[in-house]
Structure 1
Amino acid sequence: MARSSKAGTTTGHGEVRRLWPAERDLFKAHLLRLDEVTRRERFGTAVNDDFLENYAVTTFGVGGLVYAYIEDGAVRGAAELRGLEDIMAQTGEAAFSVERDWRRRGIGGTLFGRLITAARNRSIRTLYMTCLPENAAMRRLARKFEADLAGGYADVEGVIATGGPTPFTILDEALDTARGFAAMALSFQRRFWRPALFGRSAGA
């Protein structure tokens, strides 16, 4: 069973943490693994691999923040907070994607909790999200976080009042950021570090 969304804790056999620009390839690989139905649920329309590759490039700009569920070195779910380039508006947009075989594990709820904390700490008082009417799982998730839902045939829009930052939310994100950065550094060390060779080689 999935555990809580506190910083550094795990959901299933993986962990939820912030994803950094240097890990863009992990995010891109996640998007490319999404099946046709999940892609349509995430983007509201059919999208191809070229679109997803370009999307991954722009996601980590000034106005974006990504949290991810990572298991065995691969991103299996992601939550994006967009609109940070215009903090004065005090609004942001949330978007989610979880690979089909990793659904129903509480990953979406854990990611949503991290995203709301990040939004509060950046004085984003209103968080918007949209989904297709047939995306029942996303509607349930939105209701869990007390979103007001409205929409019709084309899409459903959810509006969430996040509240302001508190010392607890700031500390929570600070700890999560530190642990996430350490996890990224460790991951890169494992990928690129090679043990030094000591002593002389045979025949030297």
Structure 2
Amino acid sequence: MVRRLWPTERDLFREHLLRLDPVTRHQRFGTVVNDAFLENYAATTFGVGGLVYAYVEDGVVRGAAELRGLDDILVETGEAAFSVEQGWRRRGIGGDLFGRLVTAARNRGIRTLYMTCLPENAAMRRLAAKFEAVLVGGHADVEGVIATGGPTPFTILDEALDNARGFATLALSIQRSLWPTSLLARAFGA
């Protein structure tokens, strides 16, 4: 399931980042990063203006998309970043995450979304092109620019329903973790 991660789920995001293999880490951050960097990065991601959507399977984050506002640099702009664990690639997860991020950006008044990837990251370039990103290549990186458009009643409703479903899933998993196993068996006939 792709859903929004809440600040209380920071550890799930951190664990995802720490599971990324060296190549995926390099693709995501554009340089070599160590565990300490990732732990610090995860600790600051849910700050003001930070939003994370994740692909969650059996309570474990296997892919994430981050949206960070860049209003202090350029008005109505944001940055998108993505990471999908090696074993979960080529399943459409990146596309689902990208779509949710574009909707979230629109609904927050972010008219221009930027993303950066390495020139050799062909999968990310194809995904960005699918969302009509204008790609400008350089020696060290490729920058994508996406015009998101403004919010509509449909994009607002879409995000609200996604958030409600994600929050309900989170609440149910917390509630189940607090219930004794015997009560769960009686309640759900297991």
The answer for the alignment partner of 1:5 in structure 2 is none
Find the aligned partners of 1:110 and 1:26 in 2 and give their Cα distance. Answer: 19
- The question of 1:62 aligning with 2:21 is answered no
Give yes or no for contact 2:71–2:78 (8 Å, CA) kept in 1.
no
User: Could you list the per-position Cα deviations for residues 33-80 of structure 1 after superposition, in whole angstroms to 9, with x for gaps in the alignment?
Assistant: 000000000000010111111111100111200000000110000000
- 2:139 corresponding residue in structure 1: 153
> Contact 1:63 / 1:85 at 8 angstroms: preserved in 2?
no
Give the equivalent residue in structure 1 for 2:186: none
| Structure 2 unmatched ranges of 5 or more | 184-190
Query: Where do residues 114-193 of structure 1 align in structure 2 (5 Å cutoff)?
Result: 114-193=100-179
The Cα shift of 1:159 comes to 0.1
- Rg bigger for which structure? 1
Q: Do 2:117 and 2:141's aligned partners in 1 also have CA atoms closer than 8 Å?
A: yes
- Root mean square deviation, CA, Å: 1.7
Identify which of structures 1 and 2 has the higher relative contact order when contacts are C-alpha pairs closer than 8 Å and 6+ apart. Answer: 1
Residue-by-residue CA offset, 1:107-146 (whole Å, 9 max, x unaligned): 0000000000000001100000000000000000000000
Structure-2 residue corresponding to 1:80 = 66
- Identity score, percent: 81
Corresponding letter in the other structure for 1:174: A
Amino acid at match of 2:139: Y
Aligned to 1:102: 88
CA distance in 2, matches of 1:146, 1:36: 29
Alpha-carbon distance in 1 for matches of 2:110, 2:157: 17
> What is the aligned length?
183
Which consecutive segments of 4 or more residues in structure 1 shift more than 6 A?
none
CA distance, structure 1, for counterparts of residue 70 and residue 7 of structure 2: 15
Equivalent of 2:9 in 23, 32, 38:
23
TM-score normalised per structure 2: 0.92
